[in-house]
Amino acid sequence: MGTIEQGTAGGENLLAGSRFIRACLRKPVDRTPVWFLRQAGRYMQEYREVRKHHTLVEICKQPELAAEVTITAAEKLGVDAAIIFADLLLPLDPMGLDFEFQAGEGPVVHHPVRTAEDVRLLRTDRAADLEYVALAIQKVAAHFRDRLGIIGFCGAPYTLASYMIEGGGSRNYIETKKLMYGNPLAWGSLLDKLVTVLTEYCRLQVLAGAEVIQIFDSWVGSLGLADYQAYAFEASKRLVRAVQEMGVPVIYFGVETAGLLKAMASTGADVIGLDWRQPIDEGWHAVGHAHAVQGNLDPITLFAPVEILEQRVKEVLRSAGGRAGHIFNLGHGIVPGTPVENVQAVVKMVHDFRLENAHG
């Protein structure tokens, strides 16, 4: 991990690379670091080209391709961090669940987990099968060295459990909550198994060069506060702590989490992801200033005229108020059809922003 103090002949680059890590640790930075959720994806021509010849899972499983897609997106955008190209669902495979991505439909798990016996059959001893993600991280880390932050990631136990149980995306999480309420022992065992596998998966990523781990609890907003505390918090907290013990900061991300932020922060995660439904200063207040925050532009703002986009970007930055520990990002992922030039424009806006002349 490069720091400003370590300046070398590549000092300029070292400074840029450290900006993201420094912000995760709430240290002062020269400019607010910026990257985007789903920065490598179908909105980008280069990605669509690769996808013409390979499935999503093929790209993930071939380190050369996964690294190329990761690097191309980060370089094209000029962001401060690169998130490894992989998918949330990859750990289902070594746990013994088959899944596929069906065009336009998202992921489908063929035999969803519904009973205590289904939970019992899940394996926890094959996380090493995910080594291909680590190999891709090694390549990305070798490419960027200290120039950009390298982000590894995994799903949070609740969000992954919901995919395993629903068999795919869901509107109401009925099956998930049926198991959670109806069989708390099986639920607890499922989350324990996920923590075991995800901890090992994160370890592979950190050993390979991931400098930060983002834990995606994308669907945790489906839980009220009491249920979050009763059924999801402990497992997330254990995972957060286990990753921190590996020596890297953790970003804990969710959507529609306004009522959960304080509880999410008490996992001890270094950085909490904020969506766009409340101003960043309010979200940060709820999280507490002992944590860094990441967010929180509405991803659909990227379709707006550039003047509106600029207003919204500046609102986010002003609302963060120049406080150490803000990482600029979207509140959720870039969607297909997003104009790439607008994403690039946001990077420039963030990097050019200075608080003192922000009010003109």
Contact between 157 and 218 under an 8 Å Cβ cutoff? The reply is no
**Is residue 352 annotated as part of the catalytic site, yes or no?**
no
Report in angstroms how near the CB of residue 240 gets to ligand CP3 at its nearest: 17
**Is residue 171 annotated as part of the catalytic site, yes or no?**
no
d(CA 243, CA 251): 11
Count of positions on this chain that bind ligand CP3 (CB under 6 A): 23
Burial 158-175 (b: 16+ CB within 10 A, else e): bbbbbbbbbbbebeebeb
Number of Cβ within a 10 Å radius of residue 104: 5
Q: Is the C-alpha dihedral spanning 278, 284, 286, 292 positive or negative? A: positive
Q: Tell which residue, 295, 226, 293, has the closest CA to residue 265.
A: 293
Q: Given the complex with ligand CP3, which of 156 and 349 has the nearer CB atom?
A: 156
Examine residue 41 and tell whether it contacts ligand CP3 (CB under 6 A): yes
Q: Is the C-alpha dihedral spanning 235, 237, 238, 240 positive or negative? A: positive
> What number of CA atoms fall less than 13 Å from residue 32's CA on the CB side?
32
218 to 257, contacts with ligand CP3 by CB under 6 A? 218
- From residue 119 to residue 158, what is the string marking binding to ligand CP3 with x (rule CB under 6 A)? ----------------------------------x-----
Choose the catalytic residue: 43, 47, 158, 163. Answer: 163
Examine residue 288 and tell whether it contacts ligand CP3 (CB under 6 A): no
Q: Given the complex with ligand CP3, which of 214 and 278 has the nearer CB atom?
A: 214
Report in angstroms how near the CB of residue 6 gets to ligand CP3 at its nearest: 28
Q: Which two tokens stand for residue 111?
A: 């035999």
Number of Cβ within a 10 Å radius of residue 110: 9
Q: Given the complex with ligand CP3, which of 218 and 267 has the nearer CB atom?
A: 218
Helix (H) or strand (E) run with residue 13 in it? helix 11-24
Q: Given the complex with ligand CP3, which of 4 and 56 has the nearer CB atom?
A: 56
Examine residue 57 and tell whether it contacts ligand CP3 (CB under 6 A): no
**Is residue 42 annotated as part of the catalytic site, yes or no?**
yes
Q: Classify residue 221 by its DSSP letter.
A: G
Choose the catalytic residue: 87, 93, 129, 192. Answer: 87
Which of these segments, 33-41, 109-117, 118-126, 346-354, binds ligand CP3 (CB under 6 A)? 33-41
Examine residue 107 and tell whether it contacts ligand CP3 (CB under 6 A): yes
**Is residue 275 annotated as part of the catalytic site, yes or no?**
no
Give the residue, chosen from 15, 16, 24, 83, that forms a contact with ligand CP3 under the rule CB under 6 A: 83
In 83-173, where does DSSP find H-type helix? 92-95, 116-121, 131-144, 157-166
Give the catalytic positions in this structure. 38, 42, 51, 87, 163
Positions that interact with ligand CP3 (CB under 6 A):
37-42, 51, 56, 83, 85-89, 101, 106-107, 153, 169, 216, 218, 332-333
